[in-house]
Chain A
C-alpha cells in the first residue's frame, strides 16, 4: 500500500488547461473521492496518476517513488473504467486473469487468485461466460475482480457506477465500500455524483475548472463549504443562494432582512440548505413567499417558493401539503446560514 502525492500538477492541451497546478496528498489506505461536474479535470487528474496522460507540469509520487516517467504497467495501480474496459474476446476467467498473465505469475497461483477475486465479487458461477453475456452489474464486478486480483498499491476508479441503474448503484456502492475496507488499498475514486462521494469517501476533493475548490471530509464539505461553488454543488437539492447585502450585521434582500453576522459587505450571497428552512403560516415567519411548485419525493416534500426575483427550495415533511400560488411564511435559524462574498465567491467568516 502507498500514499499518492501530486505536487503542483498541471495538464494543458494547447491553450486549454484541464488541470491547473493542483497539489494533493492521498494518505495510505485512504479513500479519496475527486468530485466535480463534467470537464472539471477530475478524470484527467486520475489518468495522470495512472500514467495514461503525461502531466504538463508538476510531479506525481506513488509512495516515495516519482512516477512521472513510469509507464502505466510499472506504476502498480489498478483501474476500473466507466465503460468497464473488459476484453470482449476473453471469458470472465481470462479477463480477471489477464493482469497476472502479463506479469507472468505462476499458472497455479493465477488460478487460485482468480478464484479468490471472483469469490470476493460473487462471480464464481460466471467464470466461463463472455462479457457480452453479462448484465451491467456483472460486468462491473468483472472489472472490479480484475482490479483486485493482484492486490495493487493504488486503486483508481473512474465513475465505475455511472452506467448502472439506481438500485444496483446503491448495492454496488456498499460493496465497494466494504471491499476497500477489507483490502485496505489506497483508492482514488472519480465521480460527479455527490451521494457516491459523501457515502464512500474518507476525504473529498471538490474540483472546479481544473482546480481543487475544497479538500475536506464529507461532513466538512457539506456543513462548512469553503466557497459558492462547493455550496451550490453539494446537496440535493442544492443550497439556496440568495444575493443581497450586509449592513451592520443584517443581511438585506428585497423581500426580507435578517440578522446574521457582524460587519458590512456591499455584495454578498446568503446560502441556506432546504432542510434548514421550514414553512409556517403567512405572517408568522421571518419572511414570506408564494408557492411556485410542490413535489413529493417519498421521504419528504420539496416546496419551491418565489421570493422576489429568486426561487428557493424548502424541504418539508412527507405529510406536508400546500397548493400552488398559496402564500406561506418561512422560518429559519440564522446560525444555519452561510455568507459568501459575491465577487471572490469565497465564504465570509466573522
Chain B
C-alpha cells in the first residue's frame, strides 16, 4: 500500500499524539486519582465513578485533632524555607570559588562533594540519627534543616556553578578594573547575572526539602514531623484513610505546583540568559 506524503504525515502526527497521550496518562492518572479522592467520602473512594458528589469534609478533618496537619505544614514550611535560605547563599559562594579560583585539590573537592549525591540515603541515615541523638536535637526542625542542607548543598553548588561558568570573565574583570572589590563583583555583577539560575536552584532545593521523607521519618517522632511523614498517620480501624491522604496530598502538592510553574519561567530565562557578546 502506498501512502501519499500528506497521509504519511497525518499518520505520524496521530502516532505522536497517541504517544503523548499515553505518557501524559501515566503521569496524570495517579494525580487525578488523588485529586478526585480528596473530594470523595471514604465509602466512595474505591469506586471508579467519574461522577460523584464532591465534599470538602476531608480538608476540615485533616486540620482537626488528632491529625492537626497545620503543625506539619508549619514544620515543612519552616524547614524548607530555612534550608533554602541557608543553602543558596553558601552554595553561590562555593560555586563562585569552584568556578573562578584554581585551588589545590579543587577538583578532588568538587568531585567528592558531587559524589555524596550518589550515596544511598539509607546508608547515612543511621550515622545522622546517632549524631543528632548525641547532640540532643532529635525530633527538632534544626536537625531536619541540617540533614536537608547536607542533601541539597552539593546539588545547589553544582547547579549554580554551571550558571557562573557561563558568565564571560571579561564582564567580571571589567567590574574589577572599574573599581569593584571581589565581593562587590559578586554582589553587583555575578549574582544579578545568574539570578535566574540561583532562583531555579532555590526552587529545586525547596522542592527536594519539602518532599524529603526518609530522614524525616527516622529523626522525627512528634514535634518536628513534616507533611510527607504526616501522611503515614491516616490509619484507622477501617484501614488506610485514602480520602484524607488524598486531601493531605493536595496540600503537599499545591506549593510544588506553584513552584514548578515558576521554575519553568526562570529555567527558560536561565538558559537563554548570557552576557552580551
Q: Which residues of A come within 8 Å of B, CB atoms?
A: 50-52, 71-73, 75, 77-79, 81-89, 98-99, 102-103, 131-132, 134, 139, 143, 146, 156
What is the distance, in angstroms, from B50's C-beta to the closest C-beta of chain A? 50
Most A CB contacts (10 A, CB to CB) among B174, B178, B180 go to B178
What is the distance, in angstroms, from A123's C-beta to the closest C-beta of chain B? 15
Most B CB contacts (10 A, CB to CB) among A51, A99, A139 go to A99
Bound-state CA distance A189–B195 (Å) is 34
Asked, given contacts A82-B170, A132-B276, whether A87 binds B175 with beta carbons under 8 Å apart, the answer is yes
Q: Are the C-beta atoms of B178 and A146 separated by less than 8 Å?
A: yes
Bound-state CA distance A256–B195 (Å) is 70
Q: Which of A71, A82, A88, A98 contacts B178 (CB 8 A)?
A: A98
Q: Are the C-beta atoms of A71 and B181 separated by less than 8 Å?
A: yes
Closest to A78 in B: B177
Bound-state CA distance A52–B273 (Å) is 26
What is the distance, in angstroms, from A134's C-beta to the closest C-beta of chain B? 8
Bound-state CA distance A50–B195 (Å) is 29
Closest to A99 in B: B178
Asked, given contacts A85-B174, A87-B175, whether A102 binds B184 with beta carbons under 8 Å apart, the answer is yes
Contacts of A85 in B (CB 8 A): 168, 170-171, 173-174
Contacts of B181 in A (CB 8 A): 71, 73
Bound-state CA distance A262–B277 (Å) is 56
Contacts of A79 in B (CB 8 A): 173-174, 177
What is the distance, in angstroms, from B24's C-beta to the closest C-beta of chain A? 36
Bound-state CA distance A117–B176 (Å) is 20
Q: Are the C-beta atoms of A73 and B177 separated by less than 8 Å?
A: yes
Bound-state CA distance A76–B195 (Å) is 30
Contacts of B169-225 to chain A: CB distance below 8 A: 170-171, 173-181, 184, 188-189, 192-193, 195
Q: Are the C-beta atoms of B177 and A52 separated by less than 8 Å?
A: yes
Asked, given contacts A84-B276, A139-B276, whether A102 binds B173 with beta carbons under 8 Å apart, the answer is no
What is the distance, in angstroms, from B11's C-beta to the closest C-beta of chain A? 43
Bound-state CA distance A156–B174 (Å) is 11
Q: Which residues of B come within 8 Å of A, CB atoms?
A: 168, 170-171, 173-181, 184, 188-189, 192-193, 195, 273-277
Contacts of A146 in B (CB 8 A): 174, 178
Asked, given contacts A88-B193, A88-B276, A102-B184, whether A77 binds B179 with beta carbons under 8 Å apart, the answer is no
Q: Which of B171, B179, B189, B277 contacts A73 (CB 8 A)?
A: B179
A interface secondary structure, majority? mixed
Bound-state CA distance A72–B220 (Å) is 52
Bound-state CA distance A139–B171 (Å) is 13
Bound-state CA distance A134–B181 (Å) is 28
Closest to A84 in B: B276
Asked, given contacts A89-B193, A102-B184, A102-B188, whether A73 binds B176 with beta carbons under 8 Å apart, the answer is yes
Asked, given contacts A88-B275, A89-B192, A132-B276, whether A83 binds B177 with beta carbons under 8 Å apart, the answer is no
What is the distance, in angstroms, from B234's C-beta to the closest C-beta of chain A? 48
Contacts of B168 in A (CB 8 A): 83, 85
Closest to A98 in B: B178
Closest to B194 in A: A89
Contacts of A88 in B (CB 8 A): 171, 193, 273-276
Q: Which of B171, B176, B193, B195 contacts A72 (CB 8 A)?
A: B176
Contacts of A84 in B (CB 8 A): 170, 276
Q: Which of A75, A98, A139 contacts B175 (CB 8 A)?
A: A98
Q: Are the C-beta atoms of A81 and B170 separated by less than 8 Å?
A: yes
Contacts of A72 in B (CB 8 A): 173, 176-177
Q: Which of B180, B193, B275, B277 contacts A102 (CB 8 A)?
A: B180
Bound-state CA distance A73–B178 (Å) is 6
Closest to A82 in B: B170
Bound-state CA distance A143–B175 (Å) is 12
Closest to B189 in A: A87
Q: Are the C-beta atoms of A102 and B179 separated by less than 8 Å?
A: yes
Q: Are the C-beta atoms of B176 and A86 separated by less than 8 Å?
A: no
19 A-B Cβ contacts within 8 A? A50-B177, A71-B176, A73-B180, A75-B177, A77-B177, A78-B178, A79-B173, A81-B170, A81-B174, A85-B171, A86-B174, A86-B275, A89-B193, A98-B175, A99-B178, A99-B179, A102-B175, A102-B178, A143-B174
Closest to A134 in B: B276
Contacts of B171 in A (CB 8 A): 85-88
Bound-state CA distance A86–B170 (Å) is 8
Given contacts A86-B276, A89-B192, 8 further A-B contacts (CB under 8 A): A50-B173, A73-B181, A77-B177, A86-B174, A87-B171, A87-B189, A87-B193, A131-B276
Contacts of B174 in A (CB 8 A): 79, 81, 85-87, 143, 146
Closest to B167 in A: A88
What is the distance, in angstroms, from A190's C-beta to the closest C-beta of chain B? 14
Q: Which of A78, A81, A87, A98 contacts B173 (CB 8 A)?
A: A81
Bound-state CA distance A23–B189 (Å) is 35
9 closest A-B pairs by CB = A85-B174, A85-B170, A131-B276, A99-B178, A102-B179, A72-B176, A89-B192, A79-B177, A73-B179
Contacts of B170 in A (CB 8 A): 81-85
Contacts of A77 in B (CB 8 A): 177
What is the distance, in angstroms, from A164's C-beta to the closest C-beta of chain B? 13
Most B CB contacts (10 A, CB to CB) among A83, A143, A156 go to A83
Bound-state CA distance A99–B185 (Å) is 12
